[in-house]
Amino acid sequence: MKRLFVSLAILMFFAGTGVVLAQDESSSRPFDVEKDSVYIPFEFRGAWLSTVESIDWPKVKIELSTKDKGRISSQREQQKKDLVSLITKIKRSGCNAVMFQIVSNSDALYPSKILQWAPSLTDIPGEGPGYDPLALAVKTAHSLGMEIHAWINPLRIGKLDLPRRQDNICYKKSELVQEHGGKLYWDPGQPKVREYLGSLAEEIMSKYDLDGLHIDDYFYPDGLKGTGEQAKPKKNEKVWNDEALFQKYGAGKTLDQWREGNIDEIVRIMHEKVHQTRPDAVFGVSPAGRLVNTQALYADPQGWAKQGTIDYLIPQIYWQHGHPIADFKKVLDSWSGILNDVPVIVGMAAYRFKSKAFPEFSEYVLQVEECRQAPFLDGPERQNVIGQCWFTTHNIITDEFTGQMINTFYKEDMLPPGFSAVKTMLNSPDVFRMGRHLRWSEVPGADSFAVYLLEANGTTPEGGIIWKAVLQEKFHGFIYKCRQPGNYLVLACKKGIHSERSNIIYIKDKD
């Protein structure tokens, strides 16, 4: 099991650095390699872009049945424009990652050989929009210097009356499907369902330059655990009948142990396929916010952490301080206490803003602060809470919410921390000065570069300056025009991998 290390310098940024120097002192002299120190803060700042029931996108459906080419073209362009706009606004809010929901009800927002097109895109079931939404999202996010993770619902097929073609996979593979509560689900007790999910992960990660893939908390339906050999149905509801499968595959386990093992196997297979297909990408799970709730769905995050089958976890901690059952701070502490080395990104309830529980934005400010001060592991240099992820996009991109974010806890841009299981080494760029420009040569394996300006933020015991590196820009290219005097450095980047810092270049006032 890999260990997650966060440098002391990064933690100093979150916890405070002691003496803070005047702002103009940050450009008063060059970096002193003998006395000074520098730290580069990182934080994961994600937003879920929800497409199920068009929560965030698409709001415009392409009316293919009209056969009006002009109308169809206009609607297609509007869909594309809206998607680009949403991702751009996520960036504007201070976030650096987008979690794009591409499979919500066993349908796809990309041309898949396994699944049919999502019915939210066009008015004809199974028909595509004439472009590739996932390819567009990947291109847009990466052009803005953001990470993009594909988000899928693994077992949910959806309501019985969803528009589907008769050759839909859920009908063709009906022996793998259970009906429960008026909805269809893939049965995780079926080995072929696990194979299907592995194939789906492989297809997605092989076709697109994604930074990661994650699944959310739709495992076994709620209410099954502890009901005996079979779940007791509610009125007019079919039983979740997996007795025959249990007898065939149970191998001496209890029903609960067997079902939990089925979910473990799904997580293991998908993690394996992600890393086999794209080794530098990551795989994570977003479970229910309280451990007891997610365990009720036969999910075992603590077991996945021990088995090494997840690279990160995003528990949906959607409650406020003072909640009688799920106080935010207590729930947060419970996660960081059991997962040890696995990075934790905290799911944040933007959708509850101005509700009775979240009447003021100050609740979010406190929650982000507590994420940054989450319990250390076995020393002050190690911490496993590495950021936040907001549900959902349309809630954070309003002028009011975005304004509050960038004026409080997201005042400065940051790159997400590198937590890929594969630590491919990137050489540090060699940077030199050309007047007021920085220039550097190509770094093998790097796909972008991040430029930082140093700001004085404390003093060292030797009488030097502690410099905080403030991200100025991340882009594809090899030259940067400095907007102000000061000390600059550059990182080479590839997905969640960052090089060591470059040499530091000082730009004078009159250069």
What is the pLDDT, as a whole number, of residue 376?
61
The DSSP call for residue 224 is -
Q: For residue 177, what pLDDT band results from cuts at 50, 70 and 90?
A: very high
Residue 410's nearest CA partner among 344, 461, 365, 466 is: 365
Tell me what pLDDT residue 236 has: 53
d(CA 13, CA 42): 9
The first and second tokens of residue 507, run together, are 């730009």
The whole-angstrom distance between residue 100's C-alpha and the CA centroid of its chain comes to 9
Looking up tokens 């594909």 gives: 150
Comparing 270-274, 309-313, 341-345, 372-376, the range with the smallest average pLDDT is 372-376
Rounded (to 5) percent helix, strand, coil in the chain:
30, 25, 45
The answer to whether 441 and 430 are in contact (CB under 8 A) is yes
Predicted local distance difference test score (pLDDT) of residue 238: 62
Q: pLDDT tens across 289-318, in order?
A: 999 999 999 999 999 999 999 999 999 999
Single pTM value for the model: 0.92
Cα separation, 237 vs 222, in Å, equals 14
Q: How far is it, in rounded angstroms, from Cα 485 to Cα 300?
A: 52
pLDDT band at 455 (very low <50, low <70, confident <90, very high): very high
The length of the chain is: 511
> What confidence score (pLDDT) does residue 335 get?
87
Q: Which residues contact 498 (CB under 8 A, 6 or more apart)?
A: 42, 415, 418, 426, 450, 491, 492
pLDDT at 199 over 50: yes
Contact partners, residue 11, CB within 8 Å, separation at least 6? 376, 380, 381, 383
The label of the residue with tokens 């496993």 reads 384
Map out the domains of the chain as residue ranges.
8-40+423-507
Cβ atoms of residues 502 and 431 within 8 Å:
yes
pLDDT of residue 511: 62
235's tokens: 């009125």
Interior angle at CA 408, CA 10 and CA 42, nearest 5:
20
Token duo for residue 154: 């693994």
- Reported as a pLDDT band with limits 50, 70 and 90, residue 405 is very high
Nearest to 135 by CA among 95, 94, 87, 89: 87
The pLDDT of residue 23 is above 80: no
Nearest partner of 255 among 223, 219, 224, 233, judged by Cα: 224
Nearest-5° Cα angle at 222, 220 to 225: 80
The mean pLDDT value of the chain amounts to 90
Which is nearest to 293 in space by CA: 252, 329, 323, 335? 335
The CATH class given to the 8-40+423-507 domain equals: mainly beta
The whole-number average pLDDT for the span 172-190 is 95
d(CA 497, CA 500): 10
Are 460 and 454 a contacting pair, CB within 8 Å? no
CA dihedral 337, 340, 343, 348 (to 10 degrees): -10
Q: So what's the pLDDT on residue 424?
A: 64
What is the torsional sign of CA 390, 393, 396, 402?
positive
Res 57: pLDDT: 98
Using pLDDT thresholds of 50, 70 and 90, give the confidence band for residue 12: very low
CA–CA separation, 310 and 286 (whole Å):
11
| Average pLDDT of span 22-27 | 49
CA distance 108 to 160: 18
Q: How confident is the model at residue 14 (pLDDT cuts 50, 70, 90)?
A: very low
Task: For residues 500 and 502, give the distance between their C-alpha atoms in angstroms, rounded to a whole number.
Answer: 7
